[in-house]
């Protein structure tokens, strides 16, 4: 049962957060005269030594250490004697573990925020430099209209920008102090929780002790955030996997982010992107599994909540790694603009053909049918739309004039998409400015 119950093998990564919380609590006990100043200082010195042992790799766990909290307190008592037993006065592992997890996650979220910004920055700077590259835009994986390569890159960067917004919005809900809630009913020694919050850098204090020890919504929210962010990474990865195939040839992954086949020497596999895509399911599984664990629990702390740590730790580790790998892939990606442009075909300007007639006064629903008939005529003759004659077009509508063949210009097509959000150069430059501003916010 001890081995089944033990969590030290994975929650030891919170050793620094546990030491920080204990140092702050020792100071709070001294303010309430539970500890003398001399005892407080001795206890803090001992806690710092325990922390140094963890940092240097010299901490020696013992068989009876159930978790990081008991391990640290046991070692503290070995260093300073029975005084170490005073540290737990008025404190429960229930409010202690909730505090440790929030402290630990706040540190990790700051690192993840930095990595996410790094990914967005690489995408924005690349898009700014590669505005001239035109490519087919797809819906249903069918060629639709010409767009700028930068516009596609920035579509993914925009998803990550909103992930960044959501992560920042989550921080205040993580940064709520549970310490001082006790086991469930509150602290009988009336420790100064406002002091504790300030000492530990929390934004606010858990106002209800029952909620404080039992709440894990902040973990669920982070797992949901991770699932959505990884979904965005996966969708970007899928685009790049498709575009890196020989059938498309729009991009080539760096050798650092791809592998060869064990049997087919001509192959270059996009393993980095496939792993990013695959890990998305894993992160979703962490979230779904923990929500199922949480949904049936009665109020306050239950041992089931020990199952919050492994999915959280795994999500943090894999999301952090995925963001860094994604940044590396995008930073080293080779783009082939000539292949992108070669994939553009005149039938992709069929909407521009309809728009031409709209500008001549014909209702769009009618122009849509006329354009469709032009496409059918070109297909029947096995020619492109720009190879049909003026007479051919005038046979479809008397609104067609000598300038009809000016429609068949891919650059002009993208430049006509000049409303906010469009793929014109001016609007791509606007997107770059918006995303740069978001990174500085």
Reading the block at residue 2, the tokens are 């001890």
Q: 2 catalytic, yes or no?
A: no
Name every residue whose Cβ is closer than 8 Å to that of residue 87 and which is 6 or more positions away in sequence: 22, 25, 26, 29, 43, 73, 76
Nearest to 306 by CA among 292, 319, 293: 293
Helices 68-80, 15-31: crossing angle, 10 deg rounding = 60
* Contact present, 411 and 130 (Cβ < 8 Å): no
Residue 343 CA: distances (Å) to CA of 23, 73, 86, 190, 249? 64, 66, 73, 72, 10
* Contact present, 373 and 396 (Cβ < 8 Å): yes
CA separation for the pair 153, 221 (Å, rounded): 27
Reading the block at residue 128, the tokens are 């700014």
* Contact present, 220 and 310 (Cβ < 8 Å): no
Q: 261 catalytic, yes or no?
A: yes
Nearest to 370 by CA among 396, 399, 401: 396
Name every residue whose Cβ is closer than 8 Å to that of residue 365 and which is 6 or more positions away in sequence: none
* Contact present, 398 and 424 (Cβ < 8 Å): no
Helices 15-31, 93-129: crossing angle, 10 deg rounding = 130
Parallel, antiparallel, or unpaired for β 268-269 and 251-252?
unpaired
- Could you write out the DSSP letters of every residue in 152-206? HHHHHHHHHHHHHHHHHHHHHHH-EE-TT-TTTT--TT---HHHHHHHHT-SEE-
Among the listed residues 2, 56, 140, 262, the single catalytic one is 140
Among the listed residues 204, 261, 299, 389, the single catalytic one is 261
Rounded to 10 degrees, the C-alpha dihedral 212/213/217/220 comes to 150
Helix (H), strand (E), coil (C) string for 322-389: HHHHHHHHHHHCEECHHHHHHCCCHHHHHHHHHHHHHHCCCCHHHHHHHHHHHHHHHHHHCCCHHHCC
- Could you write out the DSSP letters of every residue in 75-143? HHHHHHGGGGGGGGTT--HHHHHHHHHHHHHHHHHHHHHHHHHHHHHHHHHHHHHTTT-EEEEEETTEE
Active site residues: 140, 261
């Amino acid at each position: 049962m001890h081995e089944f119950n033990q969590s030290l093998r994975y929650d030891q990564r919170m050793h620094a957060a546990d030491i920080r919380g204990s140092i702050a609590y020792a100071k709070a006990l001294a303010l309430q005269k539970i500890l003398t100043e001399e005892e407080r200082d001795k206890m803090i010195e001992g806690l710092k030594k325990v922390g140094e042992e963890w940092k240097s790799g010299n901490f020696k766990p013992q068989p009876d250490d159930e978790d990081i909290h008991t391990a640290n307190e046991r070692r503290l008592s070995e260093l300073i004697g029975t005084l170490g037993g005073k540290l737990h006065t008025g404190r429960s592992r229930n409010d202690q573990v909730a505090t440790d997890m929030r402290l630990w996650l706040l540190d990790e979220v700051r690192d993840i925020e930095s990595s996410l910004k790094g990914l967005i920055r690489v995408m924005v700077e690349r898009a700014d430099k590669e505005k001239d590259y035109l490519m087919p835009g797809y819906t249903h994986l069918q060629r639709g209209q010409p767009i700028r390569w930068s516009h596609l890159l920035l579509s993914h960067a925009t998803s990550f920008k909103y992930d960044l917004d959501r992560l920042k919005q989550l921080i205040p809900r993580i940064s709520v102090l549970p310490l001082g809630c006790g086991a469930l009913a509150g602290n009988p020694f009336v420790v100064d929780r406002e002091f504790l919050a300030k000492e530990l850098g929390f934004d606010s204090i858990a106002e209800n002790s029952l909620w404080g020890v039992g709440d894990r919504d902040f973990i669920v929210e982070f797992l949901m955030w991770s699932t959505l962010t990884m979904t965005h990474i996966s969708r970007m990865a899928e685009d790049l996997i498709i575009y890196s195939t020989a059938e498309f040839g729009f991009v080539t992954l760096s050798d650092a982010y791809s592998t060869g086949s064990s049997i087919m020497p001509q192959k270059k596999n996009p393993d980095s992107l496939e792993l990013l895509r695959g890990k998305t399911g894993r992160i979703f599984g962490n979230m779904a599994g923990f929500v199922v664990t949480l949904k049936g629990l009665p109020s306050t702390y239950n041992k089931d909540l020990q199952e919050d740590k492994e999915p959280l730790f795994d999500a943090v580790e894999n999301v952090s790694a995925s963001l860094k790998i994604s940044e590396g892939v995008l930073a080293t990606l080779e783009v082939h603009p000539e292949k992108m442009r070669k994939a553009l075909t005149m039938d992709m300007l069929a909407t521009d053909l309809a728009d031409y007639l709209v500008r001549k006064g014909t209702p769009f629903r009618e122009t849509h049918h006329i354009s469709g008939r032009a496409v059918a005529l070109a297909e029947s003759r096995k020619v492109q739309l720009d190879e049909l004659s003026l007479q051919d077009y005038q046979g479809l509508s008397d609104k067609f004039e000598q300038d009809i063949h000016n429609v068949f210009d891919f650059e002009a097509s993208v430049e006509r998409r000049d409303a906010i959000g469009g793929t014109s150069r001016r609007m791509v430059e606007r997107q770059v400015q918006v995303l740069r501003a978001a990174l500085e916010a």
